[in-house]
Structure 1
Amino acid sequence: MKHIKKIMLIFLSLIMFFSLSACQLDNDKDVQKEFDTFIQNEFIKTMESDYTSSHILLINPKDYGVDVKKIKVTLGEYINDEQIQKDKKELVNTLKTLKSFKRSDLTDEQKDTYDIFSFEYKIYNQLNDERFDDYQQLFESMTGIHYQLPTMLADWQLRNEQDVKDLIILVNDVKPYMDAALEYTKKQEEKGLLMVDIDSIIDYCQQIIKSGKRSAVLQSMNTSIDELNLERSQSIDYKKQLEEAFVQSFIPAYQDIINVMKAFPSGKNNTEGYAKFKYGKEYYELLLQKNCGSTKSVLQIQNMMKAAYNNHVARLQEIVSENPDIINQKEPQTKYQNYSQILNDIQKNLFNDFPEVKNIAYQIQDVNEELASSSGVAAYFNIPALDSKEKKQLRVNPKSANISSISTYQTVAHEGFPGHMYQYAYMYENQTTPYRKALANSNAYVEGYAVYSQYYANKYLKDVNQTYLEMLKENEMATYCIIILADIGIHYEGWSFNKFKDFLKVSGLDYGNEKTFKKQYLQLQANPATFEPYYVGCEEFLALKRKAQKKLGNKFKDIDFHKAILKSGNAPFSVIEKNVNEYIQSTK
């Protein structure tokens, strides 16, 4: 989010021989051109200031106007007071530039871009209010920087020899980058603003470095060097340098995290929610809006999820009432023996229900077993570079318990087809600007759509009882409604562990033992608003679908609805809803 100088638009008062409408048209075109330049410059500045993003997203940066000489090889800007204040100023200046454009002068597509950009930057600007200084938690147990870094490095793509040299620099940057993050975290603790699951962080970091030089992260990076087929002497030399960087930077950085977390005094860490901080409720509401892609208040989201819970429970009761023996049935298995079979079968039906895309070729690769074990992830989709012509990559856990389970099928549908893999293929082919393809950032659109997709894909399981699948879906959705309501309870209403436990029991989610209740409470407490993009996002899509079905009756078609929601790309729900409304109006 880098600053771009304010564009001064000069309006001429001389009409000369042109009609008023012609002058207005020319002015509109000038504004539209300036707006495109502004958005493109934002993309360029982000790429030039962020090596990791530019490397992951661009194979040929020059083709996008990015000056590679300006890109410094680092993990990112170090987190400190000076950098935080600098970022705040740049964000304010960027918003001023955006507001200099008159939205009504833009094309329809540009209006969507304007709305997406405006939503994101306004939320970030509000989160940057000085009241919330030091509220951001960097070491969340599910999504913190310590958790993301090993997988990012293990998956790091090496395209040429220079990339190997840059990777060594990157690994050497781990310790100073993490030290800056720890200094920020120590300052939080001193101010009484620390809110992390200390034991979980320590356990994860110990697991990551316990193998030392035999670490799965280092092994994976070495494998990437091997795949370049460099001269043997070069390959050996680079691996030696990489190992040295790993031993002197990566491992000490994770040991530093362990040491700092162990050194925090007992009682200084907030083991409840944001509601315990002075401005915590206000901060959480903004975080919730950001993660839900919506300007809805906490109360509105809470009421939406309560209504959704009641609907799912009612449907669940209806299914069981009509099929009393179903609840005692053994969960059915699918016919699949490997991940490719799942994707290939879904792909055969995909374009009957979703708009076509040209490039959905894929490959499946195993996640390193050690990393898979430490992260607990069953599968994930690697976001491809914008200019990549390579196959889409799905990474899977080789230790996944049961390929034939319904759970595995839904995970593959979520990450693959018709979920993320298809979603990004469609977005890359149909969005026109690099910003909309790569930097627009609505987790609720991305993850909400993928959850919607994993359940939609149940219809392709022809050999499995569809009523049973419907029961599973309604039960899971009701469960996650409870989880999200509990998240709001902890971080907005200040629930204690006992109140949380009582709520779950009353709602029908009884884990049966104290340890499991505590584990769930700590997961929500240390990862505020993390589940909302998935399940609030899905409920938003389901609500839009019900609306379209009600308005259109027998004119409603799944493929047309899917095209309407995919048209928006990575956008807040105000933009998605607008496009769905346009689809409804054009179809009536």
Structure 2
Amino acid sequence: MSPGANPQLHQFFEEAFEARIERSPQTLTTLGIRRRADELDDYSDAARVAEHDLVATQLEELERFDPALLCVEDRLSHEMFRYDAQALLDGFRFRHHGYLVNQKFGLHTDFPAFMINMHRVADVADARAYIARLGAFDRACNQVIIELERREAVGMVPPAYLFPQMIGDCRAFVADGDPQAVEGNPLYRDLADKLDRLGNLPTAERQALLQEAARALSESVLPAYRRLAAFLERQKPRAAGEAGAWALPDGDAWYRFCLARETTTELSADDIHELGLREVMRLQEEILGLRSGLGVDGSLADLFEHARENPDFYYPDSDAGRARYLAEMKATVAAMEPRLPELFNRLPQDELLIKPVEPHREKTAGLAFYQGPSTDGSRPGIFYLNLHDMRQLPTFATEALAYHEALPGHHMQFAIANRLHHLPSFRRYAWYNAYIEGWGLYSELIPREMGLYQDPWSDFGRLVQELKRACRLVVDTGIHARRWTRQQAIDYLYCNTPSSTGQVINEVDRYLVMPGQATTYTVGMAEILRLRRRLREAMGERFDLRRFHDELLRHGALPLTLLERQMNAWAQNG
């Protein structure tokens, strides 16, 4: 606790946090807490109702503490707890909105990823817990199907063009017709690998454990996947052709809620759409200004086509090409690490691992993403690269991607938050997309100010990455508030970025199932830059970029409205 902290308030925060996470065995595992490791989450509506009631009670209990009597840090924690709790209560009426299973996420993709990446096997007890979770999958899948039926009854069915991918993912995981379907399953192979790493496990015991796992896969996991695939096959004919938020029950209110939750601002869909249009115009002008250094004449469309089609920008779609790309990414991150003291006084302590996305989810996973370290330091931060299709990974974007996902981006951010042990636990694990993704996008710009991106094409890649985020503001609001068709959104992205047709389609379909999330990058970065400009002017010679960055990160993730207040207080007192 910080000096002057209220012990009773902190005890309340920890008890409230424990009560929340205790409801989710998978969250416990993700945080590195070894309780209920043989269980999966409860996916039923009754669990959502119970969560609502718990949070409502906790919000009432918070009233015992008068913010006026608290120290500055505790007052911020009090306000953040209220903010989070009220957001959950406000969103309760929309709990059946959103697509519980879609082409990006859902039990069918999340369960294997969770087991492979989160469930550690340090001893035989962990292995038995792993097998118990395989056995529990049948119940979890039944709960999800019931919830899908509930959503269908109120008109919440994904658009038809997403079903082939969802069904295909389920069928591929089951691998029907393959005589090695069980032994070749990613979860069987994962457990076998983890048992091998134990080192001293007797062969007979290892084989017995794997036989139990094979039985759980055969009797629980694979049949459940088949049932989910069959359900989706039956539901597909009832799917709509176009399905932005506007087409859903109470869809306009749902989208307003999504924008408020994702951006942590009061910006309207029109505000965000107009910001996107302005940023697209600015960035395209900057890109055109690079033409002489790039050696490409012609229009913006000509430049984009050159970036799409020139084979020099893409490694071969082979094991050797993947290895080269991964090595280049690791080298870029390694080169940034010794320069971090130019930007920060406080540096991350947790290790960073860079690895490819696992084969079982590479067709549907994003191109790159970050997973934070565990609270006990046993699991490093992980920067995942999707190497499934090398045509989706142009080399001119490598630098910007490395800076965003790793250093000074998300790993810097999450590893710092992970070690803020003086803060209540709920703050160390706070998740506000505008803050998190705004920092990631800002982290692509900082190296440019340090003199990096020496290759003009790398600077082109940086601007293109920022341009794509600006286009997201236009397209997300276009789809969900302005009734754009899917094809309208695809056409806009293709004409205004150098993305391939495949990338554009994946992007648009992502926005469709995650309303508002895509707007957070540019909104968050714009706020960080606005604060930096204003505080630099206000503080004059007192302004120090390293201290500014330290202050941005030392509270953990914050809603943008609270971030501004904290940075203003720092400027006055720093």
Query: Residue 410 and residue 249 in structure 1: after superposition, are their counterparts in 2 closer, same or farther (change >3 A)?
Result: farther
1:576 deviates by 1.8
Q: Is 1:260 aligned with 2:260? A: no
Query: Residue 523 and residue 425 in structure 1: after superposition, are their counterparts in 2 closer, same or farther (change >3 A)?
Result: closer
1:281 deviates by 1.0
Greater shift, 553-562 or 150-159, is seen at: 553-562
Matches of 1:76 and 1:288 in 2, distance apart?
27
Q: Is 1:159 aligned with 2:122? A: yes
Provide the residue aligned with 1:64 in structure 2. none
- Aligned CA RMSD, in angstroms, stands at 3.4
- One-letter amino acid of the structure 1 residue matched with residue 273 of structure 2: Q
Deviation sequence 1:266-321 (CA, Å, 0-9, x none): 24446321111231111111122222233433333334333333432343344458
Q: Is the 8 A contact 1:486 1:500 kept in 2?
A: yes
Matches of 2:377 and 2:493 in 1, distance apart?
46
**Secondary structure at the residue paired with 1:173?**
helix
Aligned with residue 313 of structure 1, among 284, 287, 291: 284
Q: Is 1:243 aligned with 2:214? A: yes
Provide the residue aligned with 1:24 in structure 2. none
**Secondary structure at the residue paired with 1:374?**
coil
- One-letter amino acid of the structure 2 residue matched with residue 162 of structure 1: A
Q: Is 1:194 aligned with 2:194? A: no
Query: Residue 463 and residue 420 in structure 1: after superposition, are their counterparts in 2 closer, same or farther (change >3 A)?
Result: closer
**Secondary structure at the residue paired with 2:256?**
helix
Provide the residue aligned with 2:517 in structure 1. 530
- One-letter amino acid of the structure 2 residue matched with residue 551 of structure 1: A
Aligned with residue 51 of structure 1, among 25, 31, 41: 25
Superposed, 1:47-126 pairs within 5 Å as: 47-59=21-33, 68=35, 71=36, 73-80=38-45, 82-126=46-90
Provide the residue aligned with 1:413 in structure 2. 403
Provide the residue aligned with 1:141 in structure 2. 103
Matches of 1:479 and 1:377 in 2, distance apart?
15
Q: Is the 8 A contact 2:157 2:239 kept in 1?
A: yes
Aligned with residue 482 of structure 1, among 452, 471, 485: 471
Deviation sequence 1:419-443 (CA, Å, 0-9, x none): 2222222112235235245532212
**How many residues are aligned here?**
543
- One-letter amino acid of the structure 1 residue matched with residue 13 of structure 2: I
Query: Residue 313 and residue 554 in structure 1: after superposition, are their counterparts in 2 closer, same or farther (change >3 A)?
Result: farther
Q: Is the 8 A contact 1:151 1:217 kept in 2?
A: no
Greater shift, 218-227 or 545-554, is seen at: 545-554
Q: Is 1:224 aligned with 2:224? A: no
Deviation sequence 1:411-469 (CA, Å, 0-9, x none): 3333322122222221122352352455322122223222322343456675733x544
**Secondary structure at the residue paired with 1:425?**
helix
Query: Residue 510 and residue 389 in structure 1: after superposition, are their counterparts in 2 closer, same or farther (change >3 A)?
Result: closer
Deviation sequence 1:385-429 (CA, Å, 0-9, x none): 212256544444566749992433333333322122222221122
Q: Is 1:568 aligned with 2:559? A: no
Provide the residue aligned with 1:185 in structure 2. 148
Q: Is the 8 A contact 1:57 1:438 kept in 2?
A: no
- One-letter amino acid of the structure 2 residue matched with residue 487 of structure 1: D
Q: Is the 8 A contact 1:171 1:246 kept in 2?
A: yes
Identity of aligned residues (%): 16
Q: Structure 2: which 5+ residue stretches go unaligned? A: 298-302, 315-323
Superposed, 1:366-515 pairs within 5 Å as: 366-368=356-358, 370-371=359-360, 373-388=362-377, 391-397=380-386, 401=390, 405-436=395-426, 438-458=428-448, 462=452, 464-465=454-455, 467-497=456-486, 499-500=488-489, 504=493, 508-509=496-497
**Secondary structure at the residue paired with 2:363?**
helix
Q: Is the 8 A contact 1:305 1:536 kept in 2?
A: no
Greater shift, 401-410 or 327-336, is seen at: 327-336
Matches of 2:244 and 2:419 in 1, distance apart?
42
Superposed, 1:290-369 pairs within 5 Å as: 290-320=261-291, 325=296, 337-357=327-347, 359-368=349-358
- One-letter amino acid of the structure 1 residue matched with residue 192 of structure 2: N
1:519 deviates by 5.5
Q: Is the 8 A contact 2:401 2:444 kept in 1?
A: yes
Matches of 1:167 and 1:192 in 2, distance apart?
36
Q: Structure 1: which 5+ residue stretches go unaligned? A: 1-27, 62-67
Provide the residue aligned with 2:317 in structure 1. none
Query: Residue 360 and residue 344 in structure 1: after superposition, are their counterparts in 2 closer, same or farther (change >3 A)?
Result: farther
Q: Is the 8 A contact 2:137 2:224 kept in 1?
A: yes
Provide the residue aligned with 2:6 in structure 1. 32
Provide the residue aligned with 2:320 in structure 1. none
Matches of 1:143 and 1:457 in 2, distance apart?
32
Matches of 2:141 and 2:326 in 1, distance apart?
43
Deviation sequence 1:77-129 (CA, Å, 0-9, x none): 1313x333323222222222224432222221112222222222222211112
Matches of 1:518 and 1:315 in 2, distance apart?
26
Matches of 1:500 and 1:167 in 2, distance apart?
42
Q: Is the 8 A contact 2:134 2:216 kept in 1?
A: yes
Q: Is the 8 A contact 1:271 1:525 kept in 2?
A: no
**Secondary structure at the residue paired with 1:264?**
helix
1:184 deviates by 1.1
Matches of 2:100 and 2:361 in 1, distance apart?
22
1:522 deviates by 3.5
Deviation sequence 1:317-373 (CA, Å, 0-9, x none): 4445898858579888999944442222111111111233262444444544x2363
- One-letter amino acid of the structure 1 residue matched with residue 60 of structure 2: K
